[in-house]
Homo-oligomer: A and B are copies of this chain.
Amino acid sequence: MGVGVIGYGYWGPNLVRNFAEQVAARVVAVSDLSVERLTQVHARYPKVKLTTDFREVLCDADVDAVIVATPVSSHFDIGMRALQAGKHVLITKPITADSEQAMQLIEAAEQRGLVLMVDHTFIYTGAVQTIKQMVESGNLGQLYYYDSTRVNLGLFQRDVNVLWDLAVHDLAIMDYVLGRRPVAVAATGAAHVPGHHVNLAYLTCYFEGSLITHHHVNWLAPLKIRRTLIGGARQMIVYDDLEPSEKVKVYDKGVTLADAQGALESMIGYRTGDMWAPQLSLTEGLRVEAQHFLECVTHRRQPLTDGPCGLRVISVLEAAARSLAGRGQPVELTDESPRATATESLGGVSESA
């Protein structure tokens, strides 16, 4: 299978490397506006065709699938042209600049029977796969909360705010792990650097019942933190992506309720048990993802991180943007906002993965 890559900036080299290492694929062409970057491609992959005009990649007959790794604002235009040229498409996150664009891409791919996938790379790591299995097993009991922190110093983005840059990872993981959609969103934050977007934000998602998620993102933190707490009635998970080996820890902890005789309120007790850190696959997430994309294209399967998945994340970000502008004013998420999430079959997809 021939792969063309459009955009060789921050993330592009990782994409090219991982697809180049797949036996089932060949990186045919790479385009970028910078000749200097193309020179780097040539130094490492001397057989790859190079161009500063991405349209050459789209009309290359050797290219079966196109990977879009450009700034967000161009995702829709390039992605749509690629689909129209009959190419399968993998787009870096977030899938598009708004949900309307995402819906159009989804529709275009469906009409043509082409694979449309979004590069939510964490979904393909051993850590997130293990967490997903734990949550699905029901061992955690009723889910109470999902709380993520993703902060560090830099890199300020020019075209999007910190939610679109960092929270998109957590929203994608949350969407996958919980398998549920929020009903309302509230977000607060601040822009500290003149002429730049919001660089610090806090996002809360409300779900049916008492499940709540919260996502803290910051480009101006002195420390790098990548930590998620998932609380259930019976067990709780701590996922620390910076831990070298024990990234996922399961705590057998919680509260117990005893009916106090003659009392209206139940008495709370505390339960603490063992902690357990399961062995995780150490394969690079992007490597698993590249393989999954190629399999989906070969067998015309719906990817684990398909268009509707990218759309769901965008729709939360859009609601967050509105709430942010209103200092935390809550925004309801209606079923119509991200349409077409119907036919996805996560189970089938998981099997293939």
State the A residues within 8 Å of B (CB): 44, 46, 144-145, 147, 149, 151, 153-154, 156, 158, 184, 186, 188-196, 200, 202, 204, 206, 210-212, 214, 216, 218, 220-224, 229, 231, 233, 236-238, 242, 244-246, 249, 251-255, 257, 264-266, 268, 270, 272-279, 323, 326-330
**Assembled-state Cα–Cα distance A63/B204 (Å):** 50
Of all chain B residues, the one with the shortest Cβ separation from A46 is B46
Using Cβ atoms and an 8 Å threshold, which residues of chain B touch A266?
193-195
Using Cβ atoms and an 8 Å threshold, which residues of chain B touch A46?
46
Of all chain B residues, the one with the shortest Cβ separation from A206 is B327
**Assembled-state Cα–Cα distance A167/B326 (Å):** 23
Report which of B190, B210, B278 forms a contact with A191, defined as CB distance below 8 A. Answer: B210
Does the CB pair B238–A214 fall under 8 Å? no
Using Cβ atoms and an 8 Å threshold, which residues of chain B touch A218?
145, 147, 229, 231
Shortest distance in angstroms between A219's beta carbon and chain B's nearest beta carbon? 8
* A220-B255 contact given A192-B210, A276-B275, A330-B327, CB 8 Å threshold: yes
Using Cβ atoms and an 8 Å threshold, which residues of chain B touch A265?
158, 195-196
**Assembled-state Cα–Cα distance A197/B176 (Å):** 30
